[in-house]
Homo-oligomer: A and B are copies of this chain.
Amino acid sequence: MTQTHDSDDSSLETNRATDSTTDDDSSERDPLFARIPRRDFMKAGAATGAMASMAGCTGLLGGDDSVSLEDVKTSVEPGEHDDYYAFLSGGHTGEIRVYGLPSMRQLMRIPVFQTESARGYGYDDRTSEMLEEAGGYTWGDAHHPRVSQTDNDYDGRWAFVNDKANGRMARIDLEYFETDAIVDIPNQQGTHGACCLLPDTKYVFGVGEFRVPMPNDGQDLDDPSNYTSTIAAIDPETMNVEWEVLVDGNMDNGDGGKEGRWFFATGYNSEHATTESEMSSSDTDWVKAFDVPAIEEAVEAGDYDEIGGVPVVDGTRDSSLNESDRPIVRYLDVSKSPHGVSVTPDGKYAIASGKLDPTASVIDIETLADADDPNDAIVGRPRLGMGPLHTAYDGRGHAYTTLFIDSQVVKWDIEAAVEASEESEDPVIEKVDVHYNPGHLIAAESYTADPQGDWLISLNKLSKDRFLPVGPMHPENDQLIYIGDDEEGMSLVKDTPSYAEPHDASIVSAEKLDPAKVYDPEDYDEEFISPEDNDISRENGRVHVKMHSQRNQFGFTDVTVTEGDEVTFTVTNVEQTADLLHSLAIPEYDVNIKLAPQETREVTFTADEPGVYWMYCAFFCSALHLEMRSRLLVEPAE
């Protein structure tokens, strides 16, 4: 889990030499190796045992490797697969988008906080009830997709994402690539940060941003000194909020340490103000370090108030001690309105970016545990540039930080920053222009203990003139940058326009996910309807139609109901073949449910308009797709 980081140029030189020697050796050994790029060679080599001499290597390019861009796959030819999944949030679209890297092609959208008709999300009974129980909102502001880990590596189970607009956290099942749970977090308005407690995703944390009265019921409306915000610890299995901690100031981003003890959150507005100028008036704000075992001890000891059905521990600056007098939250003074915080792959440091200050703060996590004054744990403060926001890692000892105002990504040496005098620019290795105004950035597997070190995406908020004009609402620009060559430096490889507003991303090696291609009916409560189960039952104005679907028919050619009936359709796609989807679309009744192979969904509606309605399959499933229709006959009541 720990790695050695190089802090001087001479050892970087050594790495390059070692690396190119290995390359040459391999291509001499076997003509096959000469034809495949280094990335593939490394995979092939690992499989055949030829990589034994590189046992120290972590990840494809991890450890001390540095590989020229020329030897790397940058385009993905027709029929080839990408090397990585990237999960990008969709901001105020409310969705998650799945990209392939390095192609930057969008492979899939996953609706989370909004309804989406092609998937039938929010249309079938199960998903519409889930959205209703999560507050009934029609949108959300999806910011931070985080993928679950076991032993500090991606385990392929879930992705999580917060709703900044309505204080929620959602879970995406990575077997089916669909949202399967959303929790409306009590006592939180505006859940900004989302991150996992590592190494094993014990909790998913929702970091509350907007300070409001608690409870927010109309009392004490205009007394900002009594507004509060909380961090919420959510059980990833049950999606229950286990506890919350009440703190001072606004919070935004967060990241968990690798060892299960610490969680870090940045915060602006230590001023407890309500206007922009007041919020940014102080020269320092806080990074809050949450001592998770100390919090659990307080909860265990009953040292909390139950608010909104959740144990809320007092973690404000003046009251932040548990029963053993151990501080449960430590407040570190960092430069003005820090924004992003992320823990280095080795778990050694948490690095917080200054936003309104040109520096980042390097927090030594081991020191933090023992220091009387938590500020003693701030061991480096490199001067990076204007508007530093977020930091990612390559596993070779470098940090990459977005500079929002400078429109750059800066690469810097972490240990050099610790060794340098305060606010030194020495640790800065290189800057690359991005287009324009980057928010988050993400490197491949940067959040694990073993980043891959090859690709980085800079999520730029403005695209200005980079693409063909498409009206006043411009796309954003997600730029793919190669960071695998320490000698040649960073290389901008691709511009990717994106619909507003990707906030953040996680990048996962393709082999770490194993999605299902067909549903397992055992995974859901709905009854599987085979052709022999087709049935229409009627009772007291309720009609229940159970039918299968299969190229090119539904179980019934027509279904007659009476005006005013409450009608439920339970429909199964009985196909076994992957990618053969059907749907049940009902014109003018605003119904469309998606049915992947072996999937069952139910939809319930009131048949309130008499007439003939041609139910059809909206997925183009065969040459007789147009003919795959049934009639819903709604007879007048009278």
Residues of A that sit less than 8 Å from B by CB? 75, 78-79, 81-82, 85, 90-94, 98, 100, 105-109, 114-119, 123, 135-141, 165-167, 175-178, 189-190, 209-210, 212-213, 216-219, 221-222, 227, 250, 252, 268-269, 274-276, 279-280, 337, 339, 355-356, 387, 404-405, 435, 437, 439, 461-464, 466-475, 479, 492-501, 503, 510, 513, 515-519, 552-553, 557-558, 560, 563, 578-581, 583, 585, 587-588, 590, 592, 594, 596-599, 610-614, 616, 618-621, 623-624, 626-629, 631, 633-636
Contact = CB atoms under 8 A, between A and B. Distances in A.
Given A276-B624, A599-B472, A92 B114 contact: no
19 contacts: A78-B435, A78-B494, A79-B435, A79-B466, A82-B467, A94-B117, A108-B499, A118-B501, A135-B588, A189-B613, A217-B610, A218-B611, A269-B627, A276-B552, A472-B519, A472-B597, A473-B594, A474-B581, A500-B619
Nearest to A223: B612
Contact of A473 (B114, B119, B136, B513): B119
Contacts of A435: 78-79
B471 A516 contact: yes
Contacts of A585: 92, 141, 165
A355 B623 contact: yes
A435 B77 CA distance: 13
B500 A118 contact: yes
B118 A471 contact: no
B468 A618 contact: no
Contact of A596 (B356, B472, B628): B472
A368 B616 CA distance: 35
Contacts of A629: 210, 276
Contacts of A590: 136-139
Contacts of A588: 135, 137, 165-167, 189
A524 to B, nearest CB: 12
Contact of A623 (B165, B387, B513, B634): B387
Contacts of A516: 471-472
Contact of A109 (B276, B339, B499): B499
Central interface residue in A90, A189, A499, A513, by most chain B CB within 10 Å? A499
A230 to B, nearest CB: 15
Contact of A472 (B139, B176, B470): B176
The 5 closest A-B pairs by CB, nearest first: A218-B610, A177-B471, A117-B139, A472-B596, A218-B636
A579 B462 contact: yes
Contact of A492 (B78, B109, B492, B515): B78
A104 to B, nearest CB: 8
A557 to B, nearest CB: 5
Contacts of A557: 274-275
Contacts of A473: 108, 119, 177-178, 581, 594, 596
Contacts of A467: 81-82, 100, 105, 107
Contacts of A462: 579-580
Contact of A221 (B123, B222, B501, B635): B635
Contacts of A495: 78-79, 105
A228 B503 CA distance: 50
Contacts of A119: 473, 500
A264 B529 CA distance: 42
Contacts of A599: 472
Contact of A468 (B90, B93, B100, B405): B100
A120 B476 CA distance: 17
A519 B471 CA distance: 9
A470 B78 contact: no
B275 A592 contact: no
A213 B612 contact: yes
A404 B558 CA distance: 28
A209 to B, nearest CB: 8
Given A79-B466, A623-B405, A93 B107 contact: no
